[in-house]
Homo-oligomer: A and B are copies of this chain.
Amino acid sequence: MWQNVFVSTRWLDDAEMTAWVRLAAVLELLPGVLDSQLRRDAELTHYEYYVMAMLSEAPKRTLRMTALAQRTNATLPRLSHVVKRLEDRGIVERFPCPEDARATNARLTAAGWKKIRATAPGHVETVRQHVIDVLTPEQITQLAEITGAILESVDPEGNLSAVYRR
């Protein structure tokens, strides 16, 4: 039975294998690069930065936990732990949602707002250095198309952010 699966498997050809091996390497290496720059310059993980960035763009710098989890591509438990730590550091604050007693709102504090404004330039520079500036404008467009297609298969119900939907 395994033999049958084995022989019927559609293995990857050379071009496919090259693309996949490189993508896997990016998956492995790029997060570490982003994390260590943010860690060094702002004592922040990339995910923490993303949480702050999403809050900073929201009305009143406030979002419900569920919405924030969607925008940051994370599960609720993970977000909950992270927000607790950010709260302990005075970067965000949590308060019950008035319209729905089950829900919790997270808001960026003044200190958090100041911190992300100070951190953003260095982070953007890192993203430019390792991703944007090494690609041509055509490749930027291609990358958006390619990642869009991958995301549709990884998150078919659109559970996550609408940011990347096309």
Q: Is the interface of A mostly helix, strand, loop or mixed?
A: helix
A143-B146, A153-B129 known; A124-B12 Cβ under 8 A: yes
CB-nearest residue of chain B to A131 = B150
A130 an interface residue at 8 Å Cβ cutoff? yes
Which B residues touch A125, using CB under 8 A? 9-10
Determine how close the nearest CB of chain B comes to the CB of A20; give it in whole angstroms.
6
By the criterion CB–CB under 8 Å, are A124 and B9 in contact?
yes
From A120, A128, A144, A148, name the one whose CB has the most chain B CB atoms within 10 angstroms: A144
By the criterion CB–CB under 8 Å, are B30 and A27 in contact?
yes
Determine how close the nearest CB of chain B comes to the CB of A43; give it in whole angstroms.
17
Determine how close the nearest CB of chain B comes to the CB of A36; give it in whole angstroms.
11
A111→B6 CA distance, assembly (Å) = 17
Contact partner of A130 (CB less than 8 A), chosen from B31, B118, B130, B153, is B153
By the criterion CB–CB under 8 Å, are B50 and A24 in contact?
yes
Contact partner of A21 (CB less than 8 A), chosen from B9, B11, B134, B163, is B163
